[in-house]
Structure 1
């Protein structure tokens, strides 16, 4: 948090004597950016602090508040800290208590999250602490209470930690709207954003600003730390396909044994379970290694975090559940299993190691297949050049706005004109059209045109003077029970038959199990015994062939920046010398057999194999966009008479196979597929229905939790599907259908990225007809059978992953005999 004292003269430090003495007693001086934050606070400025992990961002956010409260701490809430993680709020609380206690400051700090007891929440309304640490969801709940106007009346500062992780998300939309309300209650309140990785600085400043304008927020930069040491794990036989990187498990175990504490990051929860089991089986030295992901019970995750804090673990296998914030200085190695999918994400994970500015973060990447080697190298080059990536924050969504409007009505009546002005002061909604606002308000009032006949959707009452108030106490109760924007797949609790709840898995997965089936969860092999009400009962099992939970929504999006870097690397043989010999030889063979995909072209290969015809397109648009493309291509191929049999997609490539060969590739990939074909597919797509369900839950149309009961996932899905069909037929411009289409631009369908890829490809398609599979196509063909969607052709034509396919692509050439021209 601080740096070593290199000068005894600290007379220019803008801190009270007690602070100077506290720093001096430890031989420390504050970082310049921490002091600059104190100066900015005295000038009444809003600020964004950008500082590397371990550079004291958190203290910079609180130092000004601690200084202001040091001499005279009046009753009431002074500073509100917002964290994207409950665990991070708890960790910050612990870290703040030390200097406050040691300096004897009259400052009370407390947390307020979903885990806070009801008695403590009630007491905080009457007697709030000086500094309150909370989350976006808990803040939205507090704002829905009548007491919000008195609770926040004296608020002086809002500190948003890990701001980059919130901006551009629905949680970020919710927080921006809540901050707009806070500024209406307390106009003098100032905002502070904290972040280590910011790819789009102006966009983040606009999101943070009280008026949505970037120039209203000052940037304060922290000094750079020691450059991270990042490498690719070498000396392994690299698989052609697969994403779990289990081939590297032995090497990972060796690295854990050589290091102090290691975090092994994976990209999905299923991968976390499988990798943990694989490492545990070879843990001959009984090293203390744990598992951490979002489906595990809260108690289990907290035990792992506490063990990490006291240095009781040598390693932990984790998903993005440990990406952010928690300060474990003892971590000295991060291992990324599989490709990182983004430079900014990789930097965030690397920052978990060497949590000090004078200690280099050390990371090793273990690619899961040959394409991922390219992505890993591109990511390392991005880290070296500090080329941060990711999409800029997009406009605020309408479903979140609907939830927020109802929450404000629960607190106090409002005038729609005043509320519109307030909402458009929030960065994500700065350009919100008045008609869109009015439509959302109408929906919140009575459900809109197609639903207004139903009494259950009447939630607001319009008074004679034009203002709105909530329709009754039942509306308030139900709204508060369903606040939040985090929508997970319907889950079922997993409980040991004679023991505690272990966590939750997706409902559809459990519904596919028969009593006696086994699966891996929480690092244990479990046998499914049956249901007791809505809980899956399990018992410890023996054996080594479990079914593995396939968690939905676990894949991380592949950034456009990394996609472009991989394409450029493929097209530039001078960069191949940094690749393992296996991979560079693979690329040279592709160059000899076919052609490499260029950075500004769409390479499409077609070839016959085993009585079927294959078309492989190297789009590099990410798995979600490719999945949507596959659906559209098979529809077009069906109409054209090609007899599509199925498709499979990865982040890099899509392969489609059919009865007859495609004769007009350019027509097949024409961007007009984004018209009627897309509309027809979206109308019937289960992905679109799932997207609508999520928007309907956030907007309060479908309530997951009701007094005394909670709907099952099946009930929620059934209700959503019925309403979706009604709205499509009778109110096609309903705001929830608009919200669904907005969500479809990214997320599960990634329509916007697909449209951009098709647009760029027009007139730049290179089609190579081959007599056999190309080397570059082998990885995607090895994925066939793992996920397929069939047309009207045969429904059982799967390709077995075998050495025959690789031998066919290599054409009998052995290592060292490859022609170079």
Structure 2
């Protein structure tokens, strides 16, 4: 049963903190004045082993809401000498940058808690945490196989690959918690559908339910997202508690026009006035985060600010952050921003989610963000601390923007959120997972069908559609062979069994996993040979010399 937690009846901090071991409790008191609303409710629920969906603005402590009870439980195992070399907790997010951020933010508490325990005369073993994504080297992956982390930080695609490995998968046999961060970013796309099947496969492998924890800032509708998170068991939805703290932070959003007349003023004049207005806003604040809607728009904004105000915006004062920039430069920008060394950072979508970027006192949006949810998500990056106002300014560039953004701001103040649409019965994603499942063992078709239907996204999947995907994968459609659609599994319709086919099946699966479309990318280097990042071939063709 899906149910809401009554957030009006707040438990006292002492009562909640009493659930934690003395050294974890002491660490919290040394670092924080009080528990936030999500933390007051999530810690007891996670300690009880309940599935939880936490929705709250950026800067309200969602990460600690999910991890504090888990860290406490892991140290309890360590105290009892029962902490094994296996993965107990899996953290999944849509962004590799967010994964790296979580790693940095958890290493310090894990170290400090052990030091406090030592002061109390308690020797605790190390609770290990590590990232496993496409950025991780083969050497590091081998190291994780020999000595696995207790907390694994990863992405939806990597967890799907791990489930089909021979050796590393065995380290997941005792998984007790799975955290899905920025769940709204996954649930409304096929990446979320992919993840929902991975979670069902993981639970089937573990052999018993694990605690599922979902987190997001702008979730709507909450009940549907909760169902997506927890799935079904034998046709009945699993239990989940929803902690709704979405609107605990005040908003200050204004719509600005760079000129008095947006209709008849020349475009060049509007653009120049926009950059002058943007500069004025930046100079009035300590640190500003500017959002554009495209990567090219981000680079264009940085270029024009540098060109129009060369003495103000040097490389030490301004930076561009988007997915085409190299990982090294992105991390450098994030560190500078977190340490207050940058006056302004311009981004497309890469800083929209919950990466810890330190204190931002103003968010500027150039043009319409195209949805109310995205508007609140982006402006929520300002005033990152509890009880602070999230201040945002949207600069419109034409009359269409003006009307659209005015309505958007009005709805934001009414706390209206766009409803996410969760895709269902995606047969292409199902085909990937059926091939991945075939690598594990020989499957009874009915058993596999029941496993798939435990996913919220496939709860209404028809038997004939499931069989048609198996037939497709087994090469039953001979007419497609000239299109290089060949058999990848074997399927026996008489015995209703299927399994792996060919010695390269695992390689084919690993190289074709996921739902992010492949694009031809061109590496970009500076004149001195430094790797800057990569751009798509299509974008390159549009660039002017």
The match for 2:449 is 420
Q: Structure 1 residues 453, 226: closer, same or farther in 2, change over 3 A?
A: closer
The match for 1:92 is 102
CA distance in 1, matches of 2:513, 2:272: 40
Secondary structure, in 3 states, of the residue corresponding to 1:354?
A: coil
The match for 2:76 is 71
Match of 1:146 among 166, 171, 194: 166
Secondary structure, in 3 states, of the residue corresponding to 1:281?
A: helix
Are the equivalent residues in 2 in contact too, given 1:93–1:133 (CA < 8 A)? yes
Are the equivalent residues in 2 in contact too, given 1:81–1:131 (CA < 8 A)? yes
Are the equivalent residues in 2 in contact too, given 1:245–1:337 (CA < 8 A)? no
Q: Structure 1 residues 502, 195: closer, same or farther in 2, change over 3 A?
A: same
Match of 1:476 among 484, 502, 506: 506
Are the equivalent residues in 2 in contact too, given 1:353–1:362 (CA < 8 A)? yes
1:382 aligns with 2:411: yes
Name the TM-score, length of structure 1 as normaliser.
0.59
Q: Per-residue CA shift, 1:694-733, capped at 9, x if unaligned?
A: xxxxxxxxxxxxxxxxxxxxxxxxxxxxxxxxxxxxxxxx
1:190 aligns with 2:211: yes
CA distance in 2, matches of 1:56, 1:316: 23
Greater C-alpha radius of gyration:
1
CA distance in 2, matches of 1:361, 1:340: 16
Q: Structure 1 residues 89, 205: closer, same or farther in 2, change over 3 A?
A: same
The match for 1:707 is none
Larger relative contact order (CA 8 Å, sep ≥ 6): 2
The match for 1:344 is 373
Q: What are the equivalent positions in structure 2 for 1:529-548 lying under 5 Å apart?
A: 546=544
The match for 1:254 is 280
Are the equivalent residues in 2 in contact too, given 1:47–1:193 (CA < 8 A)? yes
Q: Per-residue CA shift, 1:274-331, capped at 9, x if unaligned?
A: 2221111122433311111222223322222222122221111110111111122311
The match for 1:411 is 440
Q: Per-residue CA shift, 1:41-76, capped at 9, x if unaligned?
A: 233221101112111111111112111112223111
Secondary structure, in 3 states, of the residue corresponding to 2:350?
A: helix
1:51 aligns with 2:35: no
Q: Structure 1 residues 379, 394: closer, same or farther in 2, change over 3 A?
A: same
1:270 aligns with 2:296: yes
Q: Structure 1 residues 341, 456: closer, same or farther in 2, change over 3 A?
A: closer
Per-residue deviation at 1:488?
4.7
Are the equivalent residues in 2 in contact too, given 1:173–1:397 (CA < 8 A)? yes
Secondary structure, in 3 states, of the residue corresponding to 2:529?
A: coil
Which consecutive unaligned segments of at least 5 residues does structure 1 have?
1-5, 513-518, 520-545, 548-821
CA distance in 2, matches of 1:363, 1:454: 51
Secondary structure, in 3 states, of the residue corresponding to 1:316?
A: strand
The match for 1:657 is none
CA distance in 2, matches of 1:81, 1:281: 42
Secondary structure, in 3 states, of the residue corresponding to 1:321?
A: coil
Are the equivalent residues in 2 in contact too, given 1:149–1:185 (CA < 8 A)? no
Secondary structure, in 3 states, of the residue corresponding to 1:359?
A: coil
Which consecutive unaligned segments of at least 5 residues does structure 2 have?
1-9, 115-123
CA distance in 2, matches of 1:371, 1:446: 51
CA distance in 2, matches of 1:242, 1:408: 56
CA distance in 2, matches of 1:178, 1:242: 49
Match of 2:220 among 172, 186, 199: 199
Q: What are the equivalent positions in structure 2 for 1:384-533 lying under 5 Å apart?
A: 384-446=413-475, 448-452=477-481, 457-462=486-491, 465-496=495-526, 499-510=529-540, 519=543
The match for 1:222 is 245
Q: Structure 1 residues 435, 401: closer, same or farther in 2, change over 3 A?
A: same
Secondary structure, in 3 states, of the residue corresponding to 2:480?
A: coil
The match for 1:123 is 143
Match of 2:351 among 316, 322, 341: 322
CA distance in 1, matches of 2:13, 2:424: 48
Name the TM-score, length of structure 2 as normaliser.
0.87
Secondary structure, in 3 states, of the residue corresponding to 2:359?
A: coil
